Amino acid sequence: MDSIETAYLEKTPRSRAAFERAGRVMPSVAKGAYYYAPYPVVIDHAEGCHLYDIDGNRYTDFANHHTAQILGHRHPAVLEAAEEQMRRGIAVGAPTGVETELAEELCRRVPSLEKVRFCNSGTEATLHAIRLARGFSGRPKIAKFEGAYHGSHDAVEISVAPDVTKAGPADAPLPVPTTGGMSPRAVEEIIILPYDDETAVERLVATHWSELACVLLDPRAGVLPPRPEFVRAVREITRIHSVLLVFDEIVGFRAGTGGIQEVYGIVPDLSTYGKIVGGGFPVGAFGGRKDIMALLDPAQGPTGFSQSGTFSAHPVTMAAGLAMLRQLTPEAFAHLNALTDRLTTRLQMGFDDAGFAAQIVSSASAFSVYFTDRVPRTYRDLDATDKRNVRRVFLSLLNQGYYLSAGLAMNSLSLPMTEAHIDRLTEATIKAIGEGQS
């Protein structure tokens, strides 16, 4: 056992005991994303941009609940909205009006959203968007990009992080299931596209357009820096071949008031949302063209489509999400973007000055650290990065009081952060990389 892990064990004995207790009634953790070796810290409470674990350690939070907590923790406006709604009714099984207010806010911010529906997660959002695309187009297959994650249902949990030795050529990737237990037919119903290669995308869509219901595009791709020209080319390719474009905006409202599509000047046919839209509560949303969304309208008579769920459009979630979105003003985004620019510039300079083969890449206020000597632009670039010391660097940062994602990818900033937080993280990361080199 090395000194970094020893220090972690000494700082977190209560978290270790809690992990062992959890393992007696769960498969170690409540969800897979919580786990990292040797065990995760257990959080007692959170405030602003800080987490406090059950051992009394404080961490500056650069994970922000998988990027969802853009305002930080316990923001007064979100707390007030959620508490007020709970006083009025927690779950009533009927419209309350707040869902309409949130839908109006989304449609006001995003011109491509003509109609919106709510669900409980980003996974549900992409599931329903795909069903709509298939039903509207009458075509059975979908296309997604290699390395993109669109949720945990069989239609899309394919080629998220494939073994490249099984994934075929880079310009014509083969579909590879991401997890066990999937339908064996799932790989027959999907076309995998390569990032950053307009020529290949054009060829594959042109070949399969007659059976393609939609193309799903997440223009972050694990916080890769996509070329705007590539994103716009995908929109044009789908338009030419009459294939619906579904924009995955699950993290989109970190990019600006209108999401990522506003930044790139894209008008997709459908969009999917999650995370920030719920104010920290479980949420999903999807919407777009009114002629497509009309398939879900019961007032139009039987359409053969339905979407519901006991907790879909939960009033507490709707109230919290509306309160969070209203805090995301142009000034808020300017603050976050300025901090991100400072972090990427200073940390990259630190890597270069110290002679570390490392890159920091960002998309709006989300960022990733990769151990490589060149900026990654595709999934296969990410796969080729050096992962040997990621765990030790992550634990070193925890020991110094900084909470990032365990893989050092898909981290994010929150509104309470200042330049001092950014500068201290930069210093801690350079120190952690020095300690973590094996």
Distance, CA of 368 to CA of 375 (rounded, Å): 11
Domain span(s) for CATH 3.90.1150.10 in the chain: 3-70+330-436
Using one digit for the tens of pLDDT, what is the confidence trace for 424-437? 999 999 999 988 77
pTM as predicted:
0.96
Token digits of residue 255: 């990019």
Within 10 angstroms of residue 195's Cβ, the number of other Cβ atoms is: 29
Which of these, 242, 215, 209, lies nearest to 230 by C-alpha position?
215
The pLDDT value recorded for residue 1 is: 58
Using one digit for the tens of pLDDT, what is the confidence trace for 137-162? 999 999 999 999 999 999 999 999 99
* 76-327: CATH number: 3.40.640.10
What is the bridge-based pairing of β-strands 190-193 and 141-145?
A: parallel
What are phi and psi for residue 359, nearest 5 degrees? -130, 140
β-partners of residue 369 are 360
Which of these, 145, 142, 146, lies nearest to 131 by C-alpha position?
142
Active site amino acids: 149, 248, 275
Distance, CA of 173 to CA of 327 (rounded, Å): 41
Domain span(s) for CATH 3.40.640.10 in the chain: 76-327
| Contact between 294 and 70 (Cβ < 8 Å) | no
Look up the CATH superfamily of 3-70+330-436: Aspartate Aminotransferase, domain 1 (3.90.1150.10)
Residues 6 or more apart whose CB falls under 8 angstroms from that of 361 comprise 223, 224, 225, 344, 367, 368, 370, 375, 376
Distance, CA of 112 to CA of 269 (rounded, Å): 7
Q: What is the DSSP annotation of 92-107? A: -SS--SHHHHHHHHHH
pLDDT higher than threshold 70 for residue 222: no
Using one digit for the tens of pLDDT, what is the confidence trace for 388-428? 999 999 999 999 999 999 999 999 999 999 999 999 999 99
